[in-house]
Structure 1
Amino acid sequence: MIDPLRPRHLALAATAVAVLMTAACGGTTIDDAEESGGSGPTGTADPDAEIPEGLKIDFLPKQLNNPYSDIVNAGGAQAVEELAGEYTERGGTEATADSQVEYINAASQAASDVIVIAANDPDAVCPALNEARDNGAAIVGYDSNANCTDVFVNQSSDELIGRALVEMISAQLDGEGTFAILSATPNATNQNTWIAAMEEILQEDEYADLELVDTVYGNDDDLESFQEMQGLMQSYPDLDGVVSPTTVGIAAAARYVSDSEYKGEVAITGLGTPNQMREFVEDGTVEEFALWNPHELGYLAGYTGAALKAGQITGAEGETFTAGELGEYTVGADGEVVLGPPTVFNEDNIDDFDF
C-alpha cells in the first residue's frame, strides 16, 4: 500500500500554487530530444489502451545504497508489482554518468520495456538512452532529468522547491544573514535547477538581507558531504546557515553541526526524509526541512513508464493517465508530470511520517 500518511502540503502564495498548476518547465522539449538524437513524443495517445502484463521496467537511480533512492525505488517496485510487470534495479555505488551508461546498456541488452532514470548528467547519458529507445524502451526521467527522456516525473516544480528552500532559511535567520549551499554533484540536473530558482527568488525585495556566499558539492557521498560542511565552517566561521537540497548532504551537515560548537548557532535546512532527520530535529540541530513523499515519486514513475509504453500517453501536453492509488495525472508542458508540492517537517509533525 502507498504510505497512508500523505504529506500535508506546504502552504505557499497563490502565485506559487499557480506555477505548480501550469507545470513549470523542467522536462525535455521535443527540440531537445531531437538535438540529442532521441525521438521525443510521437504518435497519438490511446488513453483506453491496456497495459500488458510482463513489462520489463528498470529503475536506474543516481547510485545504489542511497537511503533516499532506496525509498523512491521501493515505490517503483510496488507499482511494477501492481502492474504485473518485472522490476529490476540497476546501478553502481558512485553517482557518475559513466557508471549509469554501463547499466543503461545492460538494460537495453536485456530488452527492457521501460527505463526509469535519475540522471547524474543531463547530456552524458543520452547516447546510451537514445540507443535503448531505438531498441524499444520507453525512457522516463525521475528525480533528476536528462535532455533526452520521453517524460519527466518531477517531484515538484522547480519554483516551488526553490521557494520552499529560501523561505525556510529566511525564517530561521529572521530574514537576514549569510548562508551557503551544500549540493550533490556539480552536474545534477535537479539540484542545479533548484539552486537557480533559489538565486532568482533571492533577488526579491523580501530577501534583500540574505546573502548566498558559496555553493559546494559533496557528490551525494556522506563522508564527502561531511567534509564539505566542515570546510564551509572553516572558510566562513561567521556563517549563519546552510541549505542542502540533497538528502545525503543535509544529514551530513546536521551530523557535523550537532557535535560542534555551531549547534544552535548555524541553521541547517534543505531536503531530507523524516526518518533520517528525526534525531536532529529532536536534539534541536534542525528546526525544519522539506521533502515530497519519495515512495510516491517512484510509484508515480513506475505507472508513468507503463502508461508511456502502452501508448496511453506519448508525452504530449494535456494527456492524462491513472497512476494506481495516486489517481489521475496530467502531462504538462515539455512532457513533465508533477507529483505535487513539498511538505515542511518540524517538531510538530515529524512523528506523523514514517519514510
Structure 2
Amino acid sequence: MSFTLTRRSRSGLTVVATLTALALTATACGSDGGSDSGSGSGSGDGGGGEDLAITFIPKNLGNPYFDASQVGGESAAEEFGGTFEQVGPTEATPDSQVSFINTATQQQAGALVVSANDPEAIGSALEQARDIDIPVVTMDSDTNPEYRDVFVAQADAEGIAQAQVDLVAEQIGDEGEVAILSAAANATNQNEWIELMEAELEENHPDIELVDVVYGDDDDQKSFDETAALLQSNPDLAGIISPTTVGIAAAARYLSTSEFQGEVALTGLGTPNQMREYIEDGTVEAFALWNPEELGYLSAYAASALAAGDISGEEGDTFTAGDLGEYTVGADGVVVLGEPTVFDESNIDDFDF
C-alpha cells in the first residue's frame, strides 16, 4: 500500500513524495506533567517579537542538520524583530549542553531552544532558566516534559519510525538481517524511534531480523567506523537503518567505496545536500527527512509566542509561525511540524539544505 504526501515549503515549493504504507497520526509524545513556570516573558530581552533575544543550543555544532535549523531560526528572528544566537558543544554527549544553558540563563536570554542530548541530564539547568521566567522550547529531541514549555517535534514519532522500516523493507524485499546505526545512546528521539521500529518489525515484518544496534554519537568518524564494524560482524547483513543525518552520511561514505555498495541497502534520515552524491552513484536508493530549516523556523516562532504570553504550552493553544501558518499545541505541550518527505533520484535535486 502506498500514498502520496504533499507539503508546501516556506519558499512556496510544493513537494510530492510517495511513502509505502506510511500512516502518520498526530499522537502526543512524553508523559503527563509539566510546569507553567516558563510561560511568561523572559526577564532579559524577553516579551516576544521585537527585542527577543533567542538562544539556540543544538546537540552539537558543526552538524549540517543543525546548521540548517539555524538558518530557519535566524530567518524567523529577523521576521519578528528579535536577535538570534546559536551556541553549543562540539560533541553530542549527555551533559555537554549544561554549561551553555547556564550561561544563557546568567545572561538572561529571552528564550531558549534546545535539542536535548539526554532527557534528564539538562533538566536541572533548564529548571533554573524557567525559574526566572525564561521560556524553554525543545526541538528535534525532547527532555522530560516537566523541564520545558513546548516541544517542537519533526513529525509524529510513529510515522518517522514506520517510514524508515517501510523504506528498508522495500529495498531488501522484506526479508533478511538489518542493523541500526544510531546517534548517542541517550538521545531521546533516537531511542523512541528505535523502540517503535523494533515493534513495527516484530509485528509486520516477521522475515526481517534486527541483529544489532550501534551508536556513532553523531560523530562522523565514529559512525564510519561503526558501519565498518557492523559489516564485519554481520556478513549476511542486508540493510542498515540510520535515523541520524551524521550517521547515514558516514555509512554511505563507507559503503560507496566498499564491496558492499549496491549489496547492502542503506536508508534512514538524511539531508539532501549530504546524500545527493550517494543517490547519484547508487549507494543509497531512498531516505527520508523533514525540512530542518522549517523546524528551526517553527521553534523560534514558538519561543516568541511563549515569551509574548500568547501561549503557555497548554493543549489547544494556537499561534502563527510566519509563513508556515497557524499551529496548535497538542497534548503534553507538543507541536508537530508535519510529515517527513522521502528523497530519491526523482526529487532530490529539488531541495537545497
Tell me the TM-score normalized by structure 1.
0.91
Distance 1:135 1:252, change over 3 A: same
Q: 1:28–1:146: 8 Å Cα contact kept in structure 2?
A: no
* SS in structure 1 at match of 2:195: helix
- Equivalent residue for 2:98, pick from 98, 101, 106: 101
> Which structure 2 residues correspond to residues 328-347 of structure 1 after superposition, within 5 A?
328-347=326-345
Q: 2:55–2:85: 8 Å Cα contact kept in structure 1?
A: yes
Shift of 1:319: 1.3
Shift of 1:340: 0.5
Q: Which runs of 5+ in 2 are unaligned?
A: 1-8, 41-46
Q: Deviations over 1:123-159 (max 9, x none)?
A: 0100000001112210000000111111000000100
Shift of 1:13: 5.0
The separation in 2 between residues aligned to 1:79 and 1:27, in whole angstroms, is 27
* SS in structure 1 at match of 2:152: strand
Distance 1:167 1:121, change over 3 A: same
Partner of 2:56: 59
- Equivalent residue for 1:72, pick from 65, 69, 72: 69
* SS in structure 1 at match of 2:270: coil
The separation in 2 between residues aligned to 1:322 and 1:200, in whole angstroms, is 36
* SS in structure 2 at match of 1:103: helix
Partner of 2:136: 139
Shift of 1:352: 1.1
Q: Deviations over 1:169-200 (max 9, x none)?
A: 00001111110000000000111111111111
The separation in 2 between residues aligned to 1:3 and 1:239, in whole angstroms, is 40
Distance 1:12 1:325, change over 3 A: farther
* SS in structure 2 at match of 1:261: coil
The separation in 2 between residues aligned to 1:6 and 1:71, in whole angstroms, is 19
Shift of 1:26: 1.7
Shift of 1:41: 7.4
Answering whether residue 27 of structure 2 is matched by residue 8 of structure 1, we say no
Partner of 1:237: 235
Shift of 1:6: 4.7
Q: Deviations over 1:2-34 (max 9, x none)?
A: 4443543554658x23x2xxx3122463x2x3x
Shift of 1:238: 1.3
Partner of 1:298: 296
- Equivalent residue for 1:117, pick from 98, 114, 117: 114
Q: 1:111–1:136: 8 Å Cα contact kept in structure 2?
A: no
Distance 1:305 1:124, change over 3 A: same
Q: 1:183–1:249: 8 Å Cα contact kept in structure 2?
A: yes
Q: 2:37–2:130: 8 Å Cα contact kept in structure 1?
A: no
Percent of residue pairs identical: 56
Q: Which runs of 5+ in 1 are unaligned?
A: 44-49
* SS in structure 2 at match of 1:144: coil
Partner of 1:202: 201
Partner of 1:257: 255
Partner of 2:174: 175
Shift of 1:39: 4.3
The separation in 2 between residues aligned to 1:12 and 1:303, in whole angstroms, is 32
Amino acid corresponding to residue 221 of structure 1 in structure 2:
D
The separation in 2 between residues aligned to 1:6 and 1:106, in whole angstroms, is 41
Partner of 1:47: none
Q: 1:101–1:128: 8 Å Cα contact kept in structure 2?
A: yes
Q: Deviations over 1:223-271 (max 9, x none)?
A: 0000000000110011001000000000000110110000111001000
Across the aligned residues of Structure 1 and Structure 2, the Cα RMSD in angstroms comes to 1.7
Partner of 2:164: 165
Partner of 1:186: 185
